[in-house]
């Protein structure tokens, strides 16, 4: 049956009058909104792609993705640790991404071998010490923290913290489980107090004389250096950074990163967002505002981070942080790291 020309014209006119759906990307982010929202706004301004942001705890967001399955609205998962990205990949929640831009911008050790996730920023976990009570020549490497001279002088947060778990996971990859467990037992024996608080609390404890050494991430310390609160700045000024293992494996580093979800309905837009976050401009923003080291070679860290000095970083593929996580947690429990 032939459709009347007037009806056909009306239908065509109606179709043309319906506006095209605006491009968008839905992001599940374990990062605090302040650490990512300004960049997402810049991405929208440059591309016209709307970003719908859902913030929460990493583990809760991964559980949500699992529960939602193929019906999940999330296109992109962002976390503050490589181990969480590995966990999402192992649960088949992420999909491979083909991108020459990401291959070029992000070094191989900071992305998944199968390209399901990509590191976007680096944070190092060196030793912090009180220069008034500790001479830097007394320090050398992570292994030295088990020396009897440091008994009752070390502060570190609890074993349920992912940064500590990932640090132990990295050591398992390089030293093996037996040597790592011996190290953890020695570390626990030198604790100044039962683990409590976050990384900033460990640094403040060194400044206050509760301990002489601490393990913490650099971006917490750099944030303290530039804090608006004078007492916080004073605490940072009373503490110095020591880069361990510079003649061997290098200081332990971790990442914040992202991966396109397997359920993504806007996978192309999600890929564009990761590419944008790996660009020079975004990497510089991360460095200047968040005090995180850029993953992209050639982008300078902030002046505050540069003042901490240069360092050799551990070069293992960070996939190992997730692969060894379960073994690390069990080992830390056996060693009495609360």
- In this structure, are residues 224 and 232 in contact, taking their beta carbons and an 8 Å threshold? yes
Question: Checking phi first, is residue 283 left (phi over 0); if not, alpha (psi -120 to 50) or beta?
Answer: alpha
Share of the chain above pLDDT 70, in %: 93
Q: Which two tokens stand for residue 145?
A: 């923290």
Q: What is the pLDDT of residue 15?
A: 42
pLDDT digits (tens, 9 = 90+) for 61-105: 999 999 999 999 999 999 988 989 999 999 999 999 999 999 999
pLDDT digits (tens, 9 = 90+) for 129-159: 999 999 999 999 999 999 999 999 999 999 9
Q: What is the pLDDT of residue 12?
A: 45
**Quick one: CA dihedral 103, 107, 110, 114, positive or negative?**
positive
Task: Return residue ranges of the chain for CATH 3.40.190.10.
Answer: 22-122+254-299, 124-252+321-334
Q: In angstroms, rounded to a whole number, what is the distance separating the alpha carbons of residues 329 and 338?
A: 11
Q: What is the pLDDT of residue 21?
A: 58
Instruction: Give the model's confidence band at 6: pLDDT under 50 very low, under 70 low, under 90 confident, else very high.
Output: low
Q: Which residue in 255, 281, 209 sits closest to 109, CA to CA?
A: 255
Q: Which two tokens stand for residue 162?
A: 């992912």
pLDDT digits (tens, 9 = 90+) for 28-62: 999 888 889 999 999 999 999 999 999 999 999 99
Average pLDDT, stretch 238-252? 95
Q: Does residue 8 register a pLDDT over 50?
A: no
Q: What is the CATH number of domain 22-122+254-299?
A: 3.40.190.10
Q: What is the pLDDT of residue 215?
A: 97
CATH of 124-252+321-334, one of 3.40.190.10, 3.40.220.10, 3.30.470.20, 3.40.50.920: 3.40.190.10
Average pLDDT, stretch 282-303? 94
Q: In angstroms, rounded to a whole number, what is the distance separating the alpha carbons of residues 118 and 78?
A: 10
- In this structure, are residues 227 and 150 in contact, taking their beta carbons and an 8 Å threshold? no
Q: Which residue in 109, 133, 157 sits closest to 321, CA to CA?
A: 109
Which residues, other chains included, contact 269 with Cβ-Cβ below 8 Å and sequence gap of 6+? Answer: 23, 24, 25, 49, 75
SS (H, E, C) the chain: CCCCHHHHHHHHHHHHHCCCCCCEEEEEECCCHHHCHHHHHHHHHHHCCEEEEEECCHHHHHHHHHHHHHHCCCCEEEECCHHHHHHHHHCCCECCCCCHHHHHHCCHHHECCCCCCEEEEEEECCEEECCCCCCHHHCCCCHHHHCHHHCCCEECCCCCCHHHHHHHHHHHHHHCHHHHHHHHHHHHHCECCCCCCCHHHHHHHHHHCCCCEEECCHHHHHHHHCCCCHHHHHHHHCCEEECCCCCCCCECEEEEEEEEECCCCCHHHHHHHHHHHCCHHHHHHHHHHHCCEECCCCCCCCHHHHCCCCCCECCCCCHHHHHCHHHHHHHHHHCCCC
Q: What is the pLDDT of residue 34?
A: 84
pLDDT digits (tens, 9 = 90+) for 246-286: 999 999 999 999 999 999 999 999 999 999 999 999 999 99
Q: What is the mean pLDDT of the chain?
A: 92
Paired strand residues for 77: 28, 259
């Amino acid at each position: 049956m032939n459709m009347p020309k007037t009806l056909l014209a009306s239908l065509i006119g109606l179709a043309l009058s319906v506006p095209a759906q605006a491009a968008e990307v839905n992001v599940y982010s374990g990062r605090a909104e302040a650490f990512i929202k300004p960049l997402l706004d810049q991405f929208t301004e440059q591309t016209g792609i709307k970003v719908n942001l859902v913030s929460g705890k990493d583990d809760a967001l991964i559980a949500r993705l699992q529960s939602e399955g193929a019906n999940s609205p999330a296109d992109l998962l962002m976390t503050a640790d490589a181990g969480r990205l590995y966990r999402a990949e192992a649960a088949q929640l992420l999909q491979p991404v083909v991108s020459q831009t990401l291959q070029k911008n992000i070094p191989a050790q900071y992305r998944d071998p199968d390209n399901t996730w990509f590191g976007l920023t680096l944070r190092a976990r060196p030793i912090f010490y009180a220069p008034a009570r500790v001479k830097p020549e007394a320090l050398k490497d992570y292994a030295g923290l088990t020396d009897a001279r440091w008994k009752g002088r070390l502060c570190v947060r609890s074993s349920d913290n992912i940064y500590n778990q990932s640090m132990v996971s990295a050591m398992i990859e390089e030293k093996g489980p037996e040597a790592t467990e011996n190290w953890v037992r020695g570390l626990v024996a030198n604790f100044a107090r039962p683990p409590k608080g976050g990384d900033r609390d460990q640094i403040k404890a060194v400044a206050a004389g509760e301990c002489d050494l601490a393990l913490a991430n650099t971006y917490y310390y750099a944030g303290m250096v530039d804090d608006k609160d004078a007492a916080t700045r004073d605490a940072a000024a009373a503490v110095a950074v020591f880069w361990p293992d510079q003649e061997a494996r290098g200081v332990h580093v971790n990442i914040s990163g992202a991966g396109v979800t397997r359920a993504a309905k806007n996978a192309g837009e999600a890929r564009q967002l990761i590419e944008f976050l790996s660009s020079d401009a975004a990497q510089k923003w991360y460095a200047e505002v968040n005090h995180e080291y850029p993953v992209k070679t050639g982008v300078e860290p902030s002046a505050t981070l540069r003042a901490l000095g240069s360092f050799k970083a551990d070069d293992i593929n960070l996939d190992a942080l997730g692969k060894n996580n379960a073994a690390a947690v069990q080992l830390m429990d056996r060693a009495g790291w609360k």
